[in-house]
Chain A
Amino acid sequence: EDKVVQSPLSLVVHEGDTVTLNCSYEVTNFRSLLWYKQEKKAPTFLFMLTSSGIEKKSGRLSSILDKKELFSILNITATQTGDSAVYLCAPNYGNNRLAFGKGNQVVVIP
């Protein structure tokens, strides 16, 4: 059975703090790992990671994949209240079937 474990499940931080979100996975036929941000409805695409050790950055967000140890990290620096959301980790395996974790719920307070 494919497993995706995200930690911490929820956290509360103050604006300006740095957040590190973890995702470990066990999937067969791994192809890539995707991170999404889910606010009210749709998961919004953040990153797709295919290679180990290569950091991807987008503004204050960055992410990296370790295919040997089977985990990924999503970092958010200088957090803002607009970063409050559930962050979903989704390894992509088989025929582009995403296996979602439960998510990391982040609450940023002013």
Chain B
Amino acid sequence: EPEVTQTPSHQVTQMGQEVILRCVPISNHLYFYWYRQILGQKVEFLVSFYNNEISEKSEIFDDQFSVERPDGSNFTLKIRSTKLEDSAMYFCASRTDGNAIYFGEGSWLTVV
């Protein structure tokens, strides 16, 4: 069964460093998302991406965050200068028209 794949599964970084989280969405999907889940809290929407541009973003997704689809298969989330409060599980997700949103296994980011 096709699945969303994410790398790395776990990353530890120092505060202030840049981090790039990578995702390979399901191949025929057109809509891409990033969500995050801080330990013990709800899953929160960050950003949606369609047709090579951001279609919607939450108040969490400030200027420190950016997304990119550098080629036909990858979808990345960059955090420019990480803060302690960016420590969370980051989920990539994708879907086709009218269908359910499928999530990857997540990238656990720890900022120290």
A pairs with B: yes
Chain A residues with a Cβ under 8 A of chain B: 34, 36, 41-45, 48, 88, 90, 92, 94-103
User: Which residues of B does A touch, CB under 8 Å?
Assistant: 31, 33, 35, 42-45, 48, 55-56, 58, 89, 91, 95, 99-106
A42 and B100: CB pair below 8 A? no
Total of A-B residue pairs, C-beta within 8 Å: 48
Most buried by B among A41, A48, A94: A41
Does more than half of chain B's interface fall in helix, strand or loop, or is it mixed?
strand
Q: Are B101 and A98 in contact (CB under 8 A)?
A: yes
Between A and B, 9 residue pairs with Cβ closer than 8 Å are A34-B100, A36-B103, A42-B103, A88-B43, A95-B55, A96-B31, A96-B95, A99-B45, A100-B43
Which residues in A have their C-beta under 8 angstroms from that of B89?
Answer: 41
> CA of A44 to CA of B33 in the docked complex: distance in angstroms?
15
Given A41-B105, A45-B100, A98-B91 contact (CB < 8 Å): no
Contact of A45 among B42, B55, B56, B102 (CB under 8 A): B102
